């Protein structure tokens, strides 16, 4: 039986991120342009949370919200799920499924080095099915 690969094999390296002081309008435009659903949030170069398209949609559904003045800091999710690049893929996927997370942030030596999203999980599943279960 083959060893289970680590999340590092399938993660997206050097993910795009945004500063906590940026506006929600800037974040929304950035995410739209790059077709992103998850955006790590940095403050002073340190990972502080994750901003998702769902966070933005929720905040924008409130009355009297001005996306051009509201900052990312006011609506991101603090304490996101993060793990190391060496974590076995099955552990990451099981945790994401259990908690219904759309992504895992990959941190090494205190620095954001990658992101593993649902799309990355689909790609991993496809590859693993093709290479390990094909008859």
As averages over each run of 10 residues, the pLDDT of the chain (135 residues) reads 90 95 96 96 93 93 91 94 97 97 95 96 93 72
pLDDT on residue 119: 95
Q: Could you tell me how far CA 1 lies from the centroid of its own chain?
A: 31
In whole angstroms, give the CA distance from residue 107 to residue 130.
29
Q: What share of the chain is helix, strand, coil (3-state, %, to 5)?
A: 40, 30, 35
- 61: which residues sit within 8 A by CB, 6+ positions away? none
The CATH fold of domain 7-132: CBS-domain (3.10.580)
pLDDT on residue 32: 96
Among candidate residues 84, 91, 18, the one with its CA nearest the CA of residue 55: 18
Domain ranges of the chain: 7-132
pTM over 0.75: yes
pLDDT on residue 98: 97
- HSE-CB at 23 with a 13 A cutoff on CA atoms is 10
pLDDT on residue 2: 79
């Amino acid at each position: 039986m083959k060893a289970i690969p680590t999340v590092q094999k399938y993660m997206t390296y050097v993910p795009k991120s945004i500063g906590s002081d940026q506006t929600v309008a800037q974040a929304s435009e950035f995410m739209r342009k790059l077709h992103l659903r998850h955006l790590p949030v940095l403050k002073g170069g340190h990972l502080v949370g994750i901003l998702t398209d769902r966070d933005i949609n929720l905040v924008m559904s409130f009355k009297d919200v001005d996306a051009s003045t509201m900052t990312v800091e006011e609506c991101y999710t603090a304490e996101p799920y993060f793990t190391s690049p060496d974590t076995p893929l099955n552990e990451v996927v099981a945790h994401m499924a259990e908690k219904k997370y759309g992504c895992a942030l990959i941190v090494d030596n205190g620095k954001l080095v990658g992101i593993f999203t649902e799309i990355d999980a689909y790609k991993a599943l496809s590859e693993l099915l093709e290479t390990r279960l094909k008859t």
